[in-house]
Amino acid sequence: MDIQALKAFITVVESGSFSAAADRLHITQPAVTKRIQGLESQLGAPLFDRFQRRIVLTEAGRVLLPRAQDALLQLSRAELEIQNLSGIVGGTLALATSHHIGLHRLPEVLRHYTRRFPEVDLQLQFMESEKAYEAILNGDVELAFVTLSPEAPASIESLPIWEDSLTFVAAPNHPLHSLCNPTLEDLVDYNAILPAPFTHTYRIVKRLFNEQEIPLTAVMPTNYLETIKMMVSVGMGWSVLPDSMLDHSLRALDLKVSLQRSLGVICHRNRILSNAAQAIVQQAKDSCPQ
């Protein structure tokens, strides 16, 4: 079968229309229609029905779809394996990263990587760690640098790279600093400014409070740690932040607790990594002090 016709078929299904598929494939709509018609002629059956201005798969289309997807996946894997044999680091690398890692961990990695491998077309996307897991599962990106989840799906392969120590903090003039040996119970009387409850970082903090059967409710949750830092620094409440973010605008609370989270890279366990992906993982590992 015509590979380009199969790609057009799958793209129409994914995008929901011939015009949207044409935009994604960077060809004209008549060219998409021609490819689909050629595929239907070869198979001897229509692949799409038009229903209330929507594109709907016929029974033949539903039979073809998973097989077409598998055929293109196998072809892509073969092409990648052959390219990897050359040892050349180039091509496109779709990469996702959380904002915190992108700001505090990746700059040095990317600086060395882009100088060493200028032939790589690096497509970097910033997103929440939880969204990055979805992007890996959906095949939207090849790699993602994220806060690692202890409950990752079995199809996700995780590699810890950095250990992030977390510290309870408040503004230098916050009333909590006037307490001798403050405890978690003391924190409950003041506003907590934390990431949203669905984030891995929030769950780490929540687990600590649950272990001591202490209630925890955050006001004005936000997933951007830089925003949390600003809100804490002006006295709006206390929070838990990575040590790498501490400066004169914050002061650590003298709590006798220790918290850590693992940062690293994830990929799909069944996906063959390109030379470009393998090279940036190695660059990240090399960036860590031994």
Quick check: 128 pLDDT over 70? yes
Render pLDDT for 181-208 as a digit per residue (tens, 0 to 9): 889 999 999 999 999 888 888 999 999 9
pTM: 0.71
Render pLDDT for 132-170 as a digit per residue (tens, 0 to 9): 999 999 888 999 999 998 888 899 999 999 999 999 999
Helix axes 3-15, 29-43, angle to 10 degrees: 110
Percent of the chain beyond pLDDT 70? 97
Q: Say if residue 30 is exposed, middle or buried (CB neighbours under 10 Å; 0-12, 13-18, 19+).
A: exposed
pLDDT category of residue 50 using cuts at 50, 70 and 90: confident
Q: Say if residue 211 is exposed, middle or buried (CB neighbours under 10 Å; 0-12, 13-18, 19+).
A: exposed
pLDDT category of residue 227 using cuts at 50, 70 and 90: very high
Side-chain half-sphere of 158: how many Cα atoms within 13 Å?
A: 17
- What are the chain's domains? 3-85 (1.10.10.10), 91-162+263-286 (3.40.190.10), 164-260 (3.40.190.290)
Do the strands 54-57 and 259-268 form a parallel or antiparallel pair, or are they unpaired?
unpaired
Quick check: 83 pLDDT over 90? no
Percent of the chain beyond pLDDT 90? 66
Do the strands 120-126 and 91-97 form a parallel or antiparallel pair, or are they unpaired?
parallel
Q: Map tokens 């779709």 to a residue.
A: 94
DSSP letter string, 185-249: HHHTTS-B----TTSHHHHHHHHHHHHTT----BSS--S-HHHHHHHHHTTS-BEEEEGGG--TT
pLDDT category of residue 79 using cuts at 50, 70 and 90: confident
Q: Say if residue 193 is exposed, middle or buried (CB neighbours under 10 Å; 0-12, 13-18, 19+).
A: buried
Distance separating alpha carbons of residues 64 and 111, to the nearest angstrom: 44
Residue range 114-128: average pLDDT?
93
Q: What does the pLDDT read at residue 290?
A: 56
Q: What does the pLDDT read at residue 289?
A: 67
Cβ count near 199 (within 10 Å): 19
pLDDT category of residue 220 using cuts at 50, 70 and 90: confident
